A and B are shown apart, each in its own frame.
Chain A
Amino acid sequence: EVQLVESGGGLVQPGGSLRLSCVVSGFTFSSFWMSWVRQAPGKGLEWVANIRQDGSEKYYVDSVKGRFTISRDNAKDSLYLHMNGLRAEDTALYYCARDVIVLPPGLDYWGQGTLVTVSS
């Protein structure tokens, strides 16, 4: 059974930092791209970042470039999102998702999310 479990969310002050983690099981983590997607309370989905299998390619939505860094540790089946310079508008539920190129292309498995709240 495929599972993705996020952790690391919490309450942080504006300008602060946080590291989110996503541990996966049930598939060969090192064979897949991975993505982070967030959802502000009561709002829609926003793709945040993704990373290639070996970490050699990373892409970000413009609103987080220079502040967030996606990384992975294939030996630990883990995905990370390092968030610096947090702003109130970063408050959201953060999901990790398996990012498939072919058959089917898209985000085919998702975790249940970890909540990040940026507030003083």
Chain B
Amino acid sequence: AQRVTQPEKLLSVFKGAPVELKCNYSYSGSPELFWYVQYSRQRLQLLLRHISRESIKGFTADLNKGETSFHLKKPFAQEEDSAMYYCALNQFYFGTGTSLTVIP
């Protein structure tokens, strides 16, 4: 079965501190992984996908097939990063999300 686990429902960090949002997946094949973000009162939107290997808004995520993880990282959190973050596997399978709050 395909599954995504985001172990942290809530995460708070201070502005300027590093942030890591965890994502683990279960899939026997070669995965396609995504991070979606939902800012307050906005619709869900793509933040980044592993295949593009881009850094978006300072965020990066590395696929680790050995650990079946795709953690999202940013070295210096900003207040505008406060949002709900969802990890997604192969288009259809979303995690339960992590609510990130960046404290000024």
| A and B interact | no
Chain A residues close to B by CB (< 8 Å): none
